[in-house]
Amino acid sequence: MHQSDFYKDKSTSSSPNLEGMVGFKNRYMVMEVFLDPSKDLGVDEPVIITQFNLSKAIKDSILTNFGECGLASSLNSFQVKYVNPITKVCIIRASRDEYQKVWAAITMVRSIANCPVVFNLLDLSGSIKACKNAALKCDELKFEQYKLLAGARFTPDSQLHMQNCLDKIKLLEH
Amino acid sequence: MGFFDLNIPYHESDRHVTDKSSLKSRRLKLALKAMELGYTGIAYNRTLKGIISESDRCAIPLFPLSSILKLAPSSSYFSAAVKFHRDLLNVSVSTAFRQYTRLTLIVDSAAPVLKSSNGILKSYDIVAVRPVNQNAFDQACKTSEVDIIAIDFSEKLPFRLKQSMVKAAIKRGVYFEITYSSFIMEAQARREMISNCKLLVDWTRGKNLIFSSASPSVTELRGPYDVANLFSLLGLSKEGAKAAISRNCRSILANALSKKHFYKEAIKVEEIPSHGQINSEPSPFDDWLKWDPISSGDGDLLLDDMEKSFSASRNVAKTVKTIDFTSSMNGVPAHGLQIKDIISVTKVAPEPPDNGKCLSVAKETEAAIADNEMPVEQGGVNPLPEEQDSLNAVVRKQGKLNPFPEESQTSLEDDRNIYQVPNCEKSKILLDPLPQEQGELISLPEDGQISLNDVTNKYQVSGYEDSEMSDLPTNIGTSNYFTDFDELDTVSIEKLRNSGKLDGNSVRIELSDSQLSSCVPSCRTSVLPDGSLSFNSTSFSDRPYSVQLSASLNDICFPANIEESNVENSVDLVVSAQEGIVVNTVQNKIEREKEKEPILASPDISSQNGHMEREQLKERIGTSISSGDGLAIEEYINPIVNENSAAKYVPMVDGLISEKKQIKPVTSYRLLDKSQAGRGRAKRRATYKPFSFPFKGLLNPKPFKRKALKSKSLITM
């Protein structure tokens, strides 16, 4: 895991293949979402998270807390790159200048579609490569936990779905 | 470094509460969530207003392990989750999850000054005060003996914060608390909070500041890093923010718990149970400690034995930071037990507490050092500084020792790798002999008196040599080596000092230079029947050296230095202790040399003379050192070094004087003599004939004046 990245600033971003992308310096945050934490564990999910509703919720939060300008300056690089609805792991990209604000705004997100949520940062990295590694690890570990929790409700579909998600991670680019 | 949330609201004892069970379940959920998110400790906060009465004594029930198991549908899921988050946060998986109790008193100016001696306040682990007006705030900052000043920032402040007050509070060691749940919940509260807190944050710069949640329910709880980032919005640096949820909280707890358990400045002397007695005395330790944390979910993950031992021992963890006798090696896993075993085992008859004390000294420094560096560890092995408790556990329940090697052996390989990097080299060494040595250790006490040879042999057999010995020659040239000696001697001297007399038990002490990852000299000390401590190093196995110190080394100054050191300065103090030793050594030598002045006066000290001197010294050593000169060990090392012509030792000696300069052996001997005399000359220039030696300028406090002499010395050499 790249915990050491947390409080170190990366000086350059790595983008060996694509031209014109070296100017963008980003931070990739791997986060997990807890849906309705006050409900007992193991109950069926109240809402399914997707890239769209996550993105909307976060943007709303930025707008509320940092205003129009805050939203505008972070909107450039802000993107929810990946979401795994089974394990609730997501990857969010933000620019290096604004990532703290975006991260704070994410922390302050209280609900997604009327379901209370809690975000928790798992990993912060400066390159997509490091982020992919971290996300793969987190995803796999969380999937193990999900299996323990789901017990009887676990289906081979989930396994397939999971595999697709993992492949998606591997294909991620800036 | 663990993360703490010191404000989990506790309302169940409130006067007008109706639905206690739902409150309780909410609290339990909060506790579980906090544990899942990676926190290592929480405090249940009870808020009281007005006059405190007897009925307000702490009655907060802490959650036992059984409640977790009841609530969590699958405890394996829960422990997997906890483990997952702890790994991400670089928190040791074996750190116990601790629960504390806290009281927040809402005071206005009419209230009497809070004294920590108040019995009811004492029943809580942490005491906080919430001032509601200016007078109360001033009083809280200046005089109240509380741990935390908790101001409710989410509403318009009824009083002004003054920088002088804030400074006064910081000086006294009182912490300010900022809670973040209102931040998350309401927009209006956010506004007020930021405007109110900004001032406080700017003035304190994160020093003496803690963050906590005060969250009414699970949805307001956030992970440690998220909280730290949130507060960086207030202008706090990242490191400061991170410290505010970990280090600062931890120091509050350490202070608070030590205040709670000990009276004023009294220290707790804990008798280290000898090997045979451990199983029969679990109860005295439990009695001492009032709070009763649950064992963490991780405790379940690890071997059950370990978990049981956690529950008995982890109580000690917070309270006895400075007085933790049970194991001296932070960062050392169960194997760390080895040292403790050896020492406790071999010192059955003489006073174990003193033994422990010296160990704790060493431990404190190492803890400090290790703490600062935050080494990485593997799950299942509990090496972090906070793991004093696990080591205690290990010591206390020696019967449970056996599980450990199985557990740890699998991770031994990994541990070896890990311990390549971090501070406690000791741990590395200890890792190796663990499996074989257990049997040997157990047999040690029965011997009563252990000769040096036996110890040597045993440890050679046990493969002690394998791990680090090969590294030794490479690092010998550095002054680090000397540091090790010093530490060794610190410990041994400390022991001597405390124990007064030692009867022929031999003691083996292993030390490592934990701050500089140098090699570890496998120095062994044994106490010879005449009461002097002899100290052998087997690093040069062909020629074991022995240093003999008399028992009356009571006046050696540097252990005191180390005891007084605080966390950050421990490293410096060890080093400065060395330098202190140098000064003392030199000064004392000078006094002695006064008599022998004619011998030393000649510019060329032949080795013969040197020998004479050394022999004289040796005699002195042999008899006793009664003058209380604060003689340090280098003096004794001198003759040894000379006799054995060990070039390898020379740099060590030189390192002492010239700070890492490599000098040829012959030169160095002369250097030593001359330097010591030269020191005296710095003081009494008139009386002594000036003779020069290289690097005198380095010794001399006034280098500039000596430059001319320096060049002369080069010629004479």
Q: So what's the pLDDT on residue B593?
A: 45
A77/chain B closest Cα distance in angstroms:
19
Q: pLDDT higher for B294 or B99?
A: B99
What distance in Å separates the CA atoms of residue B268 and residue B83, rounded to the nearest whole number?
34
Q: So what's the pLDDT on residue A105?
A: 92
- Which two tokens mark B366? 């190492």
Buried b (16+ CB within 10 A) or exposed e, B183-210: bbbeeebbebbeebbebbbebbebebbb
- Write out chain A residues lying below 8 Å of B221, CB-based: 37, 118
Per DSSP, chain B holds a count of helices (H) and strands (E) of 34, 11
**pLDDT above 60 for B68:** yes
Tell me the count of A-B CB pairs closer than 8 A: 87
What distance in Å separates the CA atoms of residue B488 and residue B518, rounded to the nearest whole number?
14
Q: What is the mean pLDDT of residues A33-62?
A: 83
Q: So what's the pLDDT on residue A19?
A: 53
For B232, which residue in chain A has the nearest alpha carbon?
A100
Question: B127 and B252 in contact (C-beta within 8 Å)?
Answer: no
> Domains in chain A, start-ordered, CATH in brackets?
23-170 (3.30.70.3250)
For B72, which residue in chain A has the nearest alpha carbon?
A41
CA distances from B130 to A74, B14, B192, B197, B251 (A): 38, 17, 17, 15, 20
- Write out chain B residues lying below 8 Å of A102, CB-based: none
Sequential DSSP letters for B67-106: HHHHH-S-HHHHHHHHHHHHHHHT--TTPPPEEEEEEEEE
**pLDDT above 70 for B641:** no
Q: What is the mean pLDDT of residues B288-317?
A: 34
For A121, which residue in chain B has the nearest alpha carbon?
B226
CA distances from B660 to A137, B490, B663 (A): 46, 21, 9
Sign of the C-alpha dihedral, residues B106, B108, B114, B119?
A: negative
Q: pLDDT higher for B695 or B386?
A: B695
A45/chain B closest Cα distance in angstroms:
16
Does any CB of chain B come closer than 8 Å to the CB of residue A149? yes
Secondary structure of residue B630 in the 3-state scheme: coil
ipTM: 0.84
- Write out chain B residues lying below 8 Å of A121, CB-based: 223, 225-226, 229
pLDDT tens-digit series, residues B318-355: 433 333 333 333 433 334 334 434 444 444 444 434 44
Does any CB of chain B come closer than 8 Å to the CB of residue A65? yes
**pLDDT above 80 for B90:** yes
A18/chain B closest Cα distance in angstroms:
31
Q: pLDDT higher for B51 or A115?
A: A115
CB-count burial class (<10 Å; 0-12, 13-18, 19+) for B316: buried
Q: pLDDT higher for B569 or A118?
A: A118
Element (H, E) at B41: strand B41-49
**pLDDT above 80 for B32:** yes
Half-sphere exposure of B113 (CA within 13 A, CB side): 9
Q: So what's the pLDDT on residue B319?
A: 38
Does any CB of chain A come closer than 8 Å to the CB of residue B373? no
Q: What is the pTM of this model?
A: 0.53
Element (H, E) at A130: helix A128-150
Q: What is the mean pLDDT of residues B672-678?
A: 46
pLDDT tens-digit series, residues B121-167: 778 888 888 888 888 888 888 888 888 899 888 888 888 888 888 88
B223 closest CB neighbour out of A117, A120, A138:
A120
Question: B271 and B386 in contact (C-beta within 8 Å)?
Answer: no
Q: Kindly indicate the confidence band of residue A70, based on its pLDDT and cuts at 50, 70 and 90.
A: very high
Q: Kindly indicate the confidence band of residue A124, based on its pLDDT and cuts at 50, 70 and 90.
A: very high
Highest-scoring range by mean pLDDT, A135-144, B286-295, B433-442: A135-144
Residue B15: DSSP 8-state:
T
A38/chain B closest Cα distance in angstroms:
6
Q: Lowest-pLDDT range, B292-301, B620-629, B665-674?
A: B292-301
A116 and B219: CB-CB below 8 Å? yes
Closest C-alpha to B298, from B98, B93, B68, B99: B93
B384/chain A closest Cα distance in angstroms:
17
Highest-scoring range by mean pLDDT, A102-106, B19-23, B414-418: A102-106
Closest C-alpha to B246, from B100, B101, B386: B386
Q: Kindly indicate the confidence band of residue B47, based on its pLDDT and cuts at 50, 70 and 90.
A: confident
- Write out chain A residues lying below 8 Å of B184, CB-based: 107-108, 110
Q: pLDDT higher for B641 or B166?
A: B166
Does any CB of chain A come closer than 8 Å to the CB of residue B89? yes
B210/chain A closest Cα distance in angstroms:
18
B218 and A118: CB-CB below 8 Å? yes
- Write out chain A residues lying below 8 Å of B76, CB-based: 148
Residue A117: DSSP 8-state:
E
Q: pLDDT higher for B623 or A139?
A: A139
B77 and A148: CB-CB below 8 Å? yes
Q: So what's the pLDDT on residue B85?
A: 87
Phi-psi region of B500 (alpha: psi -120 to 50; beta: other; left: phi over 0): left
Instruction: Output the average pLDDT for chain B.
Output: 57
What distance in Å separates the CA atoms of residue A121 and residue B362, rounded to the nearest whole number?
37
Q: What is the mean pLDDT of residues B606-630?
A: 45
